[in-house]
């Protein structure tokens, strides 16, 4: 990673209302926040996949994983470095 392996995994389990048809009383959300490797989409995808697997293993009741907005592309100001539409690497 570009600035070390700063990782914070948090777990939130709050839901104010549940419909009568729902079998689960809560929605379990796993939020992962970490440093993003600039212009390195492959490293980011591998890193966040590892973190997601680690989080789900720790919290197996997870219903939804939330990741940073640009985790798949590796934020950059150089758009040619994140050709995810042409290569479809990020979209698949």
What pLDDT does 86 receive? 67
Predicted structure pTM score: 0.61
* pLDDT of 3: 42
Q: Which residues contact 35 (CB under 8 A, 6 or more apart)?
A: 1, 2, 3, 4, 5, 6, 7
> Shortest CA distance to 1 belongs to which of 47, 52, 49, 67?
47
- Average pLDDT over the chain, rounded to whole? 74
Q: Which residue has the higher pLDDT, 24 or 51?
A: 51
* pLDDT number for residue 75: 74
> Average pLDDT in the 44-48 region?
90
Instruction: Give the Cα separation of 63 and 20 in Å (integer).
Output: 19
Joined together, the tokens standing for residue 31 give 């939020």
């Amino acid at each position: 990673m570009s600035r070390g392996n700063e990782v914070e995994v948090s777990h939130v389990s709050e839901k104010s209302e549940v419909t009568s048809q729902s079998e689960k009383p809560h929605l379990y959300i796993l939020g992962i926040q970490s440093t993003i490797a600039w212009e390195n989409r492959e490293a980011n995808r591998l890193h966040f996949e590892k973190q997601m697997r680690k989080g789900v293993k720790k919290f197996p009741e997870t219903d939804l994983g939330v990741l940073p907005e640009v985790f798949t592309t590796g934020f950059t100001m150089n758009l040619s470095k994140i050709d995810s539409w042409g290569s479809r690497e990020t979209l698949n």
